[in-house]
Amino acid sequence: MTHQEYFDKLTDSIDTLSDILDTEHYGMCLVDKDGYIIKWYYEKFFNIKASAAVGRHVTEVIENTRLHVVAQTGVKELMQLQKINGSMVITNRIPLIHNHEVIGAAGTIIFRDIKEIAHLHSRMSKLEDNFKAYRSEIAKMYAAQYHFDDIITNNQKMLNLKHLGQTIARSDASVLIQGESGTGKELFAQAIHNASLVSHQPFVSLNCSSIPKELLEAELFGYESGAFTGARKDGKIGKFELAGEGTLFLDELGTMPMDMQVKLLRVLESKEYVPLGSNKKVPFKARVIAATNENLSNSMQNGSFRSDLYYRLNVININIPPLRERIEDLPVLCSSMLSQKEGLYHQSRLHMSQEAMDLLNLHNWPGNVRELRNVIDRAAIICEGSEILPQHLPEYIQVYRNSSPLEISDGYYHYEIACLERQLITKALRDNGGNRQAAARQLGIHRSLLYKKMKDLGIHE
């Protein structure tokens, strides 16, 4: 192709483009190597007809132009200020190169008046303000409710964990919270967020087990409109984006499918992600707190959990003991829960009777504090006076009283002793993982006596 053919082709293409581009407002001009105008799309802007411009040297038509210089040097000049008709415009000057040779230059006006930039800037800052307002609305919608003061405990291990949580809250380190169901994992996660430097940012939680495997990725990454069949028309904001610079709480992490584990790890390492159906990388700035009630060491051993993700998340580990291992928490938990009921159904302050407390002490609490809360809520509703009595407790807790052959009819003294014995034996069995020989040794009684006591007291562990 000769230079001329190249020019012809180029101007043909520009003719087509000019129908699409807003030439009315901005326009364009092409000059040859010597600076003579060959194409003129500036009729409106300069109020000069193409017939009057084409063929003339560009310096005769455009004030302060440098297009002829660029056509010589081949060095492009972008975003240059140029004074035309008394106003400052911003222009781009781009050399046209064919077969490694500069054969001309194209000039375009990006902003007709520098004032346009000020206008654009003010529109941008308005948008930015709106964006900030939406962000703060999101933060309000996704606020964490609990604080460290809401974690009620008298147990030394728990107090240490609370202290650890408070200390690390202000860092951005990932946290892994482990513990049985109902031990207060979410409580800790929220408390950490609220004590962090980003407490005014959103706390967004995602329960990995409640989302079908195929949808989990869309839920986390979000997608652009029309990203896949069945996707919502207007796209979807993912949890990564919602969390912004706040906290992303990944609950039931142990159930996360393997392929998602890989993807999550990649996001945590690279600190960026790509929404589904998009080609733009988006920075990921949120802090991640994960929780699980599964034993991840076992999951890693049987290959259902990736160890690299485990170590990435387990920067800070909070392992919450089950309620049965901190049975001394029962009284404070009960009294705090009962005080929350005050004024709800009862005028006067509710409290636990000793008998009811003894029964709670004997229970194993597989559902931990959540189970206790249900028991207390129920008791507060059905209790008519101000004292929670054994009959206000659910059947399955009342049986501890009935299963003992030492009934109350035997006398209060015997009943109390039996309760105490049962507590001691239950605790010793628990401490020794159900091993009766070890429990007997700890209690300082013979194994056969332990067996007898267990039978008499209705202990089936």
Ligand X SMILES: Nc1ncnc2c1ncn2[C@@H]1O[C@H](COP(=O)(O)OP(=O)(O)OP(=O)(O)O)[C@@H](O)[C@H]1O
Residue 72 interacts with, from Mg ion, ligand X, none (CB under 5-8 Å by kind) = none
Q: Give the binding-site size for Mg ion (rule: CB under 5 A).
A: 1
Residue closer to ligand X by CB (options 152, 168) is 152
Cβ 320 to ligand X shortest distance, Å: 7
**CA–CA dist 140, 290 (Å, integer):** 22
Cβ 171 to ligand X shortest distance, Å: 22
The CB-of-357 to ligand X minimum distance in angstroms stands at 17
- Binding partner at 183 among Mg ion, ligand X, none, C-beta below 5 to 8 Å by kind: ligand X
Q: Which is nearer to ligand X, 56 or 370 (CB)?
A: 370
Binding partner selected for residue 35 from ligand X, Mg ion, none, CB under the kind-specific 5 to 8 Å limit = none
42 touches 112 (CB < 8 A): no
Task: Yes or no: say if 362 and 423 are a contact pair by the CB < 8 Å rule.
Answer: yes
**C-beta of 364: minimal distance to ligand X in Å?**
17
Compare residues 67 and 388 and give the one whose CB is closer to ligand X: 388
User: Rounded to 5 degrees, what are φ and ψ at 120?
Assistant: -60, -40
Q: Which stretch binds Mg ion (CB under 5 A): 88-96, 162-170, 185-193, 276-284?
A: 185-193
Which of ligand X, Mg ion, none does 373 bind, CB closer than 5 to 8 A by kind? ligand X
- Minimal CB distance residue for Mg ion: 186
- What lies within 8 Å, CB to CB, of 377 at 6+ separation is 337, 341
Interface with ligand X by CB under 6 A: which residues?
150-153, 179, 181-187, 293, 333, 369-370, 373
Q: Between residues 37 and 216, which has the closer beta carbon with respect to ligand X?
A: 216
Which option in ligand X, Mg ion, none does residue 393 bind, with CB closer than 5 to 8 A by kind?
none
Question: Residue 59 touches which of Mg ion, ligand X, none (CB < 5 to 8 A by kind)?
Answer: none
For residue 180, state whether it binds Mg ion (rule: CB under 5 A).
no
69 binds, among ligand X, Mg ion, none (CB under 5 to 8 A by kind): none
Minimum gap (Å) between residue 280 Cβ and Mg ion: 33
Q: Out of ligand X, Mg ion, none, which partner does residue 152 contact, by CB within 5 to 8 A per kind?
A: ligand X
Distance in Å, CB of 187 to Mg ion, minimum: 8
Task: State in angstroms the smallest separation of the CB of 296 from ligand X.
Answer: 14
Q: Taking a C-beta distance cutoff of 8 angstroms, is the pair 249, 142 a contact? A: no
Q: Which two tokens stand for residue 278?
A: 């998009």
Nearer to Mg ion, 139 or 369 (CB): 369
Residue 275 CB, shortest distance to ligand X, in Å, is 28
CA separation for the pair 212, 192 (Å, rounded): 28
Interaction with Mg ion in 352-391: which residues (CB under 5 A)?
none
The residues that bridge with 283 in the sheet, in sequence order, are: 272
Closest to Mg ion by CB, 294 or 416: 294
Residue closest to 240 by CA, chosen among 267, 266, 260, 215: 267
Closer of 326 and 453 to ligand X (Cβ): 326
Chosen from Mg ion, ligand X, none, partner binding at 23 (C-beta under 5 to 8 Å by type): none
Q: Is 186 in the site for Mg ion (CB under 5 A)?
A: yes
What's the distance, CA 262 to chain centroid?
A: 17
Binding stretches for Mg ion (CB under 5 A): 186
